[in-house]
Homo-oligomer: A and B are copies of this chain.
Amino acid sequence: MSLFEKHKETIDKAVEAIHDRSFFAAYPEHPSPKIYGEDADKDGREKFQASLDKKFEDLLQENPEAWVGEEQSPYLNKALGILYPSFSADTLIERSQKAWSQWRNLSVDERAAVLVESLDGFKERFFENAYATMHTTGQGYMMAFQASGPHAADRALESLAMGYEEQKRFPEHQSWTKPMGKYEIKLNKSWRAVPKGISLVVGCSTFPTWNSVPGLYSSLVTGNTCIVKPHPGAILPMAIVVAEIQKVLKANGIDPNVCQLAPDTYSKMITKDLAEHKAVKLIDYTGGSKFGSYLEGLADKTVFTEKTGVNSIILDSAENIDKVAQNLAFSVCLYSGQMCTCPQNFFIPEEGINTPNGKVSFEDFAQKLADNINGLVDNPKAGPFVLGAIQNPNTTGHIEEAKKLGGKIWLESRSIDNPMFKEARTATPIIVEMSTKDKDKFTQELFGPIVLLIKTKNTEESVNMAAELAENHGAISCGAYTTDATTKNMIMDKMALSATPVSFNLTGGIYVNQNAGFSDFHVTGGNPSGNASLTNPEYVIKRFTWVGFREPVEG
């Protein structure tokens, strides 16, 4: 059985799931011993611990020019001490170019099979990767396992399936016969999906795998070679992924440099050297807007970005306002507001929120939200694990800035104890009341656990502000609560024009922050929060070029 035959069913099912868009997952999200094995968690933790304070030797990139690594654990408040093989931009590019010819000349089937095989290898390291993710990003264990493991693997599979399908949409060969009255013109035609060249994938520090593997797998399946430039603060999770890809490449007689890791340090970043190199044709980027916009502006590159946005919650009316407050409290606590989908600006009419029991005033809702947050963060069995730790020490600075915004502070941010990690850097959400007059203060992302409650004239103003913010400053998610059909339609129309997805009336165990592979497009690409969408067809189509050939049929 060929590698393609081994994985054909997985690829076919993934393609089907993309079009069906009902629930689908190829990699189970539950870190259960029944699924992953009795010792899987223990083995993964030990493997992570064994990797500390030494060289990471799993990569197949020969003759390192240096060994670098500056990762810090937000839980342990100390360096991980792992060193990765490092190379100059020129060496990386040269190796990538050398590896390209073989990779691009494989069939789409062969490339897709190699990539699915690598995800199977990654699956064997989900637990190790969970600890790697916790101790670089500060995510709680469950999120670190799910988002960085199975959810990321599903997004990778989705991307490669989309790329697989797009390359199969037109025939490889076709005969073309044009009737010309008394005779015919007959041509043999063929078409090739030609990859663009070297693809650079630039990772972020909060979701190192989830945000990097879609670009990586999309570029690889379409025949490009890749250089993965992780954030210096979160290298290990992607090092594991790249190592698994290289292992499968080598096992199949393919140059492992088809996919290289390019770790760097804070003091000597190599992203610009790589991005500006003529041979780099594709760039995937997740991170701050300033650098993202610089990359988007580079000439002759195809650039896919996820930058920052300002996410809104629109509160109009609700069946059960307590469940709403509970749901939103969880949303803002989850990973301490360090998710790109976390809501920041809550728009509430000055006359309050309609409920079956009458209006709930702005003040009452603010108090309910504060109470629910306190209830969650002070629950020792939940709070520390939902909040996780703060990845970047600068994030506490944003909380300080939020304090100075001038509005009433409904809830102060504070540290809580993590029972497992005494040194963990933690921060609970701050809630600040704002007026619509303060618009210039809430038009940008205040990264971290920061909630702004903005008093509006009415829901129409709420929606207009949310839409305007999304259109001018970007938004990745939006939550809306309304029991009125007309209002719902108005919200859908206005947010659609601002290219922002909307979750309506979420209560219970599903949150606006969450985003499902094979069903939810992540980022629309239509507002300033990013120009790419995971994973719509545009996301893969731009990675290759259709080129046609034709020749008269002989005789």
Contact B504 A551 (CB under 8 A): yes
When the two chains form the complex, which single residue of B30, B492, B505, B509 contacts A185, counting CB atoms closer than 8 Å?
B509
Contact with B along A97-138 (1 / 0, CB 8 A): 000000000000000000000000000000000000000000
* Interface check A421, CB cutoff 8 A: no
Chain B residues whose C-beta falls within 8 Å of the C-beta of A187 in the assembled complex: 510
- Closest Cβ–Cβ distance, residue A163 to chain B (whole Å): 13
Stretch of A65-73, A432-440, A520-528 that contacts chain B? A520-528
Q: Which of A169, A509, A542, A546 has the most CB of B within 10 A?
A: A546
Chain B residues whose C-beta falls within 8 Å of the C-beta of A499 in the assembled complex: 194, 545, 547
Contact A19 B169 (CB under 8 A): yes
- Closest Cβ–Cβ distance, residue A184 to chain B (whole Å): 9
**In the bound complex, what is the Cα–Cα distance between A182 and B508 (angstroms)?**
14
**In the bound complex, what is the Cα–Cα distance between A21 and B549 (angstroms)?**
12
- Closest Cβ–Cβ distance, residue A483 to chain B (whole Å): 11
Stretch of A5-13, A44-52, A360-368, A531-539 that contacts chain B? A531-539
Contact A21 B505 (CB under 8 A): no
* Interface check A192, CB cutoff 8 A: yes
Chain B residues whose C-beta falls within 8 Å of the C-beta of A507 in the assembled complex: 552
* Interface check A355, CB cutoff 8 A: no
* Interface check A398, CB cutoff 8 A: no
Q: Which of A192, A196, A497 has the most CB of B within 10 A?
A: A497
* Interface check A180, CB cutoff 8 A: yes
A502 with B549, Cβ < 8 A, contacts A176-B519, A185-B509 known: yes
**In the bound complex, what is the Cα–Cα distance between A510 and B187 (angstroms)?**
9
* Interface check A22, CB cutoff 8 A: yes
- Closest Cβ–Cβ distance, residue A443 to chain B (whole Å): 17
**In the bound complex, what is the Cα–Cα distance between A180 and B542 (angstroms)?**
36
Chain B residues whose C-beta falls within 8 Å of the C-beta of A545 in the assembled complex: 499, 524-526, 533
* Interface check A171, CB cutoff 8 A: yes
* Interface check A516, CB cutoff 8 A: yes
Chain B residues whose C-beta falls within 8 Å of the C-beta of A546 in the assembled complex: 521, 524, 533, 536
Contact B547 A22 (CB under 8 A): no
Contact with B along A541-555 (1 / 0, CB 8 A): 110011111111000
When the two chains form the complex, which single residue of B22, B495, B521 contacts A175, counting CB atoms closer than 8 Å?
B22
Q: Interface size of A by Cβ–Cβ distance < 8 Å?
A: 63
* Interface check A490, CB cutoff 8 A: no
* Interface check A189, CB cutoff 8 A: yes
* Interface check A178, CB cutoff 8 A: yes
Contact A520 B537 (CB under 8 A): no
Chain B residues whose C-beta falls within 8 Å of the C-beta of A251 in the assembled complex: none
* Interface check A291, CB cutoff 8 A: no
Contact B20 A550 (CB under 8 A): no
A170 with B551, Cβ < 8 A, contacts A519-B189, A538-B538, A546-B536 known: no
**In the bound complex, what is the Cα–Cα distance between A521 and B166 (angstroms)?**
15
Chain B residues whose C-beta falls within 8 Å of the C-beta of A22 in the assembled complex: 174-177
Interface residues of A in 12-26 (CB under 8 A from B): 19-23
Contact B502 A521 (CB under 8 A): no
* Interface check A382, CB cutoff 8 A: no
Contact B509 A171 (CB under 8 A): no
Contact A538 B549 (CB under 8 A): no
When the two chains form the complex, which single residue of B21, B538, B547 contacts A170, counting CB atoms closer than 8 Å?
B21
Contact A521 B496 (CB under 8 A): no
**In the bound complex, what is the Cα–Cα distance between A362 and B276 (angstroms)?**
42
A-B contact pairs, 5 of them (CB 8 A): A19-B169, A23-B178, A524-B545, A536-B541, A541-B541
6 new A-B contacts at CB < 8 Å, known A21-B171, A504-B549, A538-B541: A23-B179, A194-B496, A501-B550, A506-B551, A524-B545, A538-B542
